[in-house]
Amino acid sequence: MKTHIQVSGSTSYFSVGLVFISTMMLSYGKVGAQILLDSTYVNVSTVAQNIYYPWEIIWGPDNSIWMTQQGKVSRVNPQTGAIKKILDVPDYAFSEGSRQMGLALHPDFNTNKYVFIDYNYSGTIYNAPKNHRLYMKIVRYTYNSTSDVLENPTVIIDGIKIFDGYHDGGKMIISDDHIFLTIGDAKQVEFPNLHPYVMPGDGYLPQNLDVFNGKIVRLNLDGSVPHDNPFATSPFEKTPRNLIWSYGHRNTQGLVVGNGNKLYYAEHGRDNDDEMGIIQKGKNYGWPLIEGFCDEAFETVSCDTITNDKDPLVSWNPNVAPSNMEYIGESPIGEFQNSILVGTLTGDNFGNHIAVLTLSETGDYVVNKRILFFREYGRIRDLCIDPLGNIYFITSNTTSGSGSQGDDRIMKISFNSKNVITDVAETIQSDIVLYPNPLGKERKIYLNLPFSKGEVQLYNATGEVIETYSTETGRLVIDASSFKSGVFFIRYQTATQLVIRKLIVD
């Protein structure tokens, strides 16, 4: 299992567990958890709970969290957790394949109070004999701060066919006074029988510039066509070709603007090669002819013939199902500086965590990858950041079948200025003594634990439990003579505390 990372102009391969956050310490209680990163303690607390089917959260200039969830827009008070619904979208169409509902605030929101929403709706039947009727559109509302509601809807664009709703994308962002919207491939590649009117003559939707599917489109804020779009021609009508900014996408659920106004994306692969990379004007991102990097035999012809293709910065194998993302420049949390944080959704292997992707100074490469909250909170749907650098994330376990309605919540990660660690030995005294580490020739692991009775589990780098040990005294000696070189994790949990330590075996 290898993760491809584009580093300093070349592609490096890292075994996934080798580069992730090495130490976590969580103390559970009413206030929340305290987590040790590399050298910084952060607090993790619950902001709001009893949430169902969430999709997006953004930090508003009114110092509240704006949230969408299955046809609703709400404002969340980050201090009290109070949730105030401000809109029920009247024509929102729920589908089994998607509950997407994108959200963006106008750059001059404080003046015009404009709020943009993209969502799915039902319209005229098309694609006989399958008779699909789902479309996507963007609608602009005005926020009435007196009555605390969204009103006066104005359609920016509509009529975008998404067939049965699967793989619809639906991430919207405003950058440089333009709207960017991701539109998925509608699962056309995997299930061409659902799209008989384009098969086989017109080929794959993501490679076809005359359809919206498998694209990222770019509009002016009033919905008109930007004249500098890569394929736009006069009279600049709202056709797919005129609006397309990039193509060859599968199901892009993450967009964020980083340093230097670079636009980054996160995209679901098929059974492999989830991607994170940089979106550039007019580029072809390969799907389904190329998956991730050009590193498979079946991709050779396409890699040689597609002249405007763009490789990702990161390709995940196995899949993690990346959702939305946030960029952090300067941060009080040193481990997060100049990084992109990506929520992940899948419960298999390395999903159900926040991926911390540290960028090069130019932002053109990923130089380090780390995992935060591995399988602690389930599916991470979205993140947002407040002006002080506090990070908020929302879970999405209801839609996975593993949770019940109202099971999801918004969590907050905040800097703990009183607990910046300058010496790792300080943390050892307070929770767990593990030595020697790295493990050398002796092949015995000694553990001194801050409790008399409990269980200790040993995990390998892929998250599999290797062994479970019990102690009655708070001390353990583990025979490691059979351990192969690599990275392991020691984990113990009591009713009030969870500690994870990384063990390196030479």
Tell me the pLDDT tens digit for each residue of 107-132. 999 999 999 999 999 999 998 888 99
> Which residues make Cβ contacts (< 8 Å) with residue 398, sequence separation at least 6?
52, 53, 404, 405, 406, 407, 408
Q: How is residue 350 written in tokens? A: 């390395």
Q: Residue 470: is it exposed, middle or buried by C-beta count within 10 angstroms (0-12/13-18/19+)? A: exposed
| Model pTM score | 0.79
Pick from 317, 501, 487: which is nearest to 427 by CA?
501
State mean pLDDT over 148-154: 99
> Which residues make Cβ contacts (< 8 Å) with residue 478, sequence separation at least 6?
444, 445, 446, 447, 458, 467, 469
What single DSSP character describes residue 228?
T
State mean pLDDT over 409-425: 66
| Confidence bin at 10 (pLDDT 50/70/90) | very low
pLDDT of residue 128: 83
**Extended strands (E) in 28-78:** 33-36, 40-51, 54-59, 65-69, 72-76
- Provide Rg for the chain, Cα atoms: 24
State mean pLDDT over 142-152: 98
State mean pLDDT over 182-190: 93
| Confidence bin at 15 (pLDDT 50/70/90) | very low
Between these two residues, 424 and 279, which has the higher pLDDT value? 279
Give CA separation, 318 vs 43, 269, 273, 298, in Å.
30, 10, 7, 19
Calpha distance 381→393 (Å, rounded) = 7
Calpha distance 168→250 (Å, rounded) = 9
Calpha distance 387→391 (Å, rounded) = 10
Quote the percentage of the chain above a pLDDT of 70. Answer: 82
Give the H/E segment covering residue 157: strand 149-163
Which range among 128-132, 259-263, 446-450 shows the weakest confidence by mean pLDDT? 446-450
Whether the predicted pLDDT of 180 surpasses 70: yes
pLDDT of residue 26: 31
Partner residues linked to 242 by β-bridges: none
Between these two residues, 299 and 405, which has the higher pLDDT value? 299
> Please, where in the chain does CATH 2.60.40.10 lie?
433-505
| Confidence bin at 374 (pLDDT 50/70/90) | confident
Mean pLDDT, the chain, whole residue set: 84
> Which residues make Cβ contacts (< 8 Å) with residue 502, sequence separation at least 6?
22, 23, 487, 488, 489, 490
pLDDT of residue 483: 83
Give CA separation, 56 vs 71, 134, 170, 258, 490, in Å.
12, 21, 10, 19, 34
First to last CA, the chain: 20
pLDDT of residue 404: 53
pLDDT of residue 14: 24
Three-state DSSP at 389 gives coil
Calpha distance 266→256 (Å, rounded) = 9
Which residue is associated with the tokens 């998404």? 162
Calpha distance 408→48 (Å, rounded) = 9
pLDDT of residue 491: 77
pLDDT of residue 21: 31
CATH architecture assignment, domain 433-505: Sandwich (2.60)
CA 501-446-444 angle, to 5 degrees, is 105
Between these two residues, 123 and 95, which has the higher pLDDT value? 123
Q: Are 258 and 340 in contact (CB under 8 A)?
A: yes
| Confidence bin at 38 (pLDDT 50/70/90) | confident
Which range among 147-161, 226-240, 438-452 shows the weakest confidence by mean pLDDT? 438-452
Whether the predicted pLDDT of 429 surpasses 60: no
Which range among 1-15, 225-239, 262-276, 303-317 shows the weakest confidence by mean pLDDT? 1-15
